[in-house]
Structure 1
């Protein structure tokens, strides 16, 4: 008969199927003491205590959902690594994809609207003139300057 310390039982290995379930639970539960870490990643004493409690519950035959529910009852829904897909938390799942879709639609329509414009539209309201374009379609620089100054300096240079 050998005497083993009580702490030896807490570090006892779980059977592979229970260990896999434990790891899945660990990665879905946030450490209440560490910012942004799950209990799987944390070395805090409370995370170690939570892992030990989860292993004990798994050995006792508790289901994954029952274990997670008991943690939520103790610590609140903020203990979950991903928000639940019901109620107000559903917005955390719906808003980001909707924002991306709306942003992509805005970019698409803006580009489509910009492509539809021509460089040779009337120069000023009411004068009926047009901007002279270079072979690539870009306006010639001196014509833009003339329009801004309200003069025809280029015509004077050609004389």
Structure 2
């Protein structure tokens, strides 16, 4: 079985992610406002205070999720590497990558570093058209190369023989 080839991509566009987060935040706030307006009487402090806190929490979570920084993601035939987009090939963090959600033209990836820190990466096809297929192949098929030389043909494992 051959090892997955090395691959590197810079992720700089997050339009789909930001639109989805903004829509979800707006939907949460709209449903709270609709409930508030549908109530026949003025809510008491016991109801209004938690409602205000939930509204502020929805705004805070939405605002924190809107912030995405350009990143570099690299597969070196052994490990995934993650870091700022300005350092392709020198990403400071290595770890494992898993697919959390795949919608065809958009994926949510979960990068878990060797230090057990989890980073969520929203990745969209737009802006990566030339690399999209290679990225999907690397994400789905990347397996560490076995044998003395990484990146070259490796011995067939017992799992692949079954």
- TM-score, length of structure 2 as denominator length: 0.26
Instruction: Please state which structure has a larger fraction of its residues in helix.
Output: 1
Larger radius of gyration: 1
Give the strand-richer structure, 1 or 2: 2
